[in-house]
Amino acid sequence: MIGLGAVYALAGLVFAAFAVLSAFDRDNPKRLGNAGFWGLMALSFLAGDRLGDAGNGALVVGLALIAGLGLLGRGNPDTTTPAERRALAERFGERLFIPALTLPVVVIVGVLALKPITIGGTPLLDPKQVTLVSLALAAVIAAGLGVILLRQPLISPLQEGRRLMDTVGWAALLPQFLAALGAVFALAGVGKAVGDLVTANLPMDTRAAAVAVYCLGMAGFTMIMGNAFAAFPVLTAGVALPVLVGRYGGDPAVICAIGMLSGFCGTLMTPLAANFNLVPPALLELPDRHAVIKAQIPTALPMLIANMVLMYVLAFR
C-alpha cells in the first residue's frame, strides 16, 4: 500500500538533494546555512518517527535558529537567462503548458481511478491519503515529462526546485510550524480561554446581536488562531448552539455552514494563515510580505457582512 510513508520518503530525498546541492553552491555565501536547513528537513521527513518527541523538538528549534539568525541565503544554480527563456518560449509554444496541466490530470486520475484498485485485498493507495499520494505521484510524473518534452537537463528538477525553495525560504515551513503551534495551544487550552472571554463579555440579547457575535467572533478568533477549524468548536459550543439554536430556534445547518465561512473571512486577513497569505508574496517575489492580505481585506470585510445578513435571513425562516 502506498501511503504517507512513501510520500515522506520521497520528500525527504528531495530535501536531502537540496541540502547537498546547496552545500556545493559557491555563489551562495550562506551555503552552509541552506545546507543545514534543508538537511534538517530531510532528516525530519526520512527519520522523524525515530527521533523521538524531544529529538523532533530540538530539530524544530534548530530550523528556527538557522532562519532567525539570518543564516539562510539564496542559492544560485545554473539556469537560463531571461532572453533564453523568451527564445525557448517561442520554440516550444503551447507544449510548455503540458507538464503543468498534466499535474491536475494525474491528481484526478489518482483520486478517481487508482483509489478503488486493490492488490490481493489491500488497496494500492492508502484510502485516507489518496489526494496527497496522487499529488506526489503527479509531481514526479509532471517533472519527468517536463525534462523529456522540453529537453531540460536531468538535474534541473532538483536545481530549479531548489531555486524556488530558496526564493520562498523559511516561509515555506511556516505553515507546518503554525500547525504545530496550534497543537500546543490546544494542549494548553488557549481556545477555551478565548471562547470564555467572548461569551462572557458580549451582549447577545437580540437575535441580530447574537448573529453578529458569532460571525465576528469566528472571523476574529480565526485571525488569532490562524485557521477556522480551531475557532469553530469553541464558538459553536459557546454561542451558536446555546443561543442561536437553543434560544432563538435557528437552523443549525445554516448557522454552522455560514459560521465556518465567516471564519474563512478571518483566514483571508491573518498572517497566521501562512500558506495562503505569506507564502504567495514570497513565491511572487513581492517586496511587501503582507501584499496578498492587503489585496484580500476589501473582499473579506464585505463578505463578512454578507455572511451575517445571509445567516440572519436564512437561519430563522
List binders of another protein among 76-135 (CB under 8 A): 79-80, 82, 84-89, 92-94, 96-97, 99-100, 103-104, 107-108, 111, 129, 131-132, 134-135
- Whole-angstrom distance, CA of residue 130 vs CA of residue 207: 43
Q: Which of residues 154-183 bind another protein (CB under 8 A)?
A: 156-165, 170-183
Q: How far is the CB of 207 from another protein (least distance, A)?
A: 18
Per CB under 8 A, 306 contacts another protein: yes
Could you tell me where the DSSP H helices lie in the chain?
A: 4-23, 31-47, 52-68, 82-92, 97-109, 130-149, 156-168, 174-188, 190-201, 207-225, 228-235, 252-267, 274-277, 279-283, 291-314
Contact call for residue 58 and another protein (CB under 8 A)? yes
279 binds another protein (CB under 8 A): yes
| Interface with another protein (CB under 8 A), residue from 21, 35, 40, 67 | 67
Rule CB under 8 A: is residue 253 a binding residue for another protein?
A: yes
CA 175, 177, 178: angle at the middle one, nearest 5?
65
Under rule CB under 8 A, residue 48 binds another protein: yes
Residue from 32, 55, 74, 248 that binds another protein (CB under 8 A)? 55
DSSP 52-71: HHHHHHHHHHHHHHHHHTT-
Q: Which stretch binds another protein (CB under 8 A): 23-31, 119-127, 138-146, 204-212?
A: 138-146
Would you state the cell numbers that stand for residue 81, as one nine-digit string?
Answer: 537567462
Site for another protein in 224-243 (CB under 8 A): 224, 228-229, 232-233, 236-237, 241
